[in-house]
């Protein structure tokens, strides 16, 4: 097996263990509202971390370029109440304008 397939097999086993740990730990009990609220924030937090890492990361370096302006404009638009599609369009326009200027 290659290194990639060993990594994939390890990730599969880890994912299965994580998914099985919840029912084993709780034993059929219901979670309270605070743990449920924390769990609900895991997916958006992970997605945001992945977006920032893929957009601003270059190996082990942090790269601040035109894409950072796009992300910032989308973040402000979403914070101000815009829906996702206009925020993505705004980010694309801001990034394109910044690249055109530089």
CA quadruple 63, 92, 52, 101: dihedral, nearest 10:
20
Whether residue 15 is contained in a domain is answered as: yes
Structural contact between residues 66 and 95, judged by C-beta atoms closer than 8 angstroms? yes
pTM of the model: 0.56
Whether residue 63 is contained in a domain is answered as: no
The pair of structure tokens assigned to 76 is 């402000």
Residues 6-25 pLDDT 10s: 999 999 999 999 888 888 88
Domain that holds residue 11: 1-30
Residues 34-48 pLDDT 10s: 988 998 899 899 998
Contacts of 91 (CB under 8 A, 6+ apart): 70, 71, 73, 74, 77
Whether residue 90 is contained in a domain is answered as: no
Tell me the pLDDT of the chain averaged across its residues: 90
Whether residue 81 is contained in a domain is answered as: no
Most distant pair of Cα atoms in the chain: their distance: 59
Instruction: Using the predicted structure, report yes or no on whether residue 75 has a pLDDT greater than 90.
Output: yes
Predicted pLDDT at 88: 95
Site of tokens 């990594």: 7
Contacts of 62 (CB under 8 A, 6+ apart): 56
Whether residue 18 is contained in a domain is answered as: yes
Whether residue 2 is contained in a domain is answered as: yes
Instruction: Using the predicted structure, report yes or no on whether residue 60 has a pLDDT greater than 90.
Output: no
Instruction: Using the predicted structure, report yes or no on whether residue 1 has a pLDDT greater than 70.
Output: no
């Amino acid at each position: 097996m290659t290194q990639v397939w060993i990594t994939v097999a390890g990730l599969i086993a880890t994912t299965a263990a994580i998914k099985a740990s919840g029912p084993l730990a709780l034993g059929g009990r219901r979670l309270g509202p605070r743990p449920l609220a924390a769990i609900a924030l895991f997916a958006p937090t992970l997605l945001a971390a992945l977006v920032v890492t893929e957009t601003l990361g270059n190996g082990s370096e942090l790269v601040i370029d035109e894409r950072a302006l796009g992300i910032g404009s989308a973040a402000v638009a979403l914070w101000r109440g815009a829906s996702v599609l206009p925020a993505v369009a705004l980010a694309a326009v801001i990034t394109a304008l910044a690249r055109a200027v530089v």
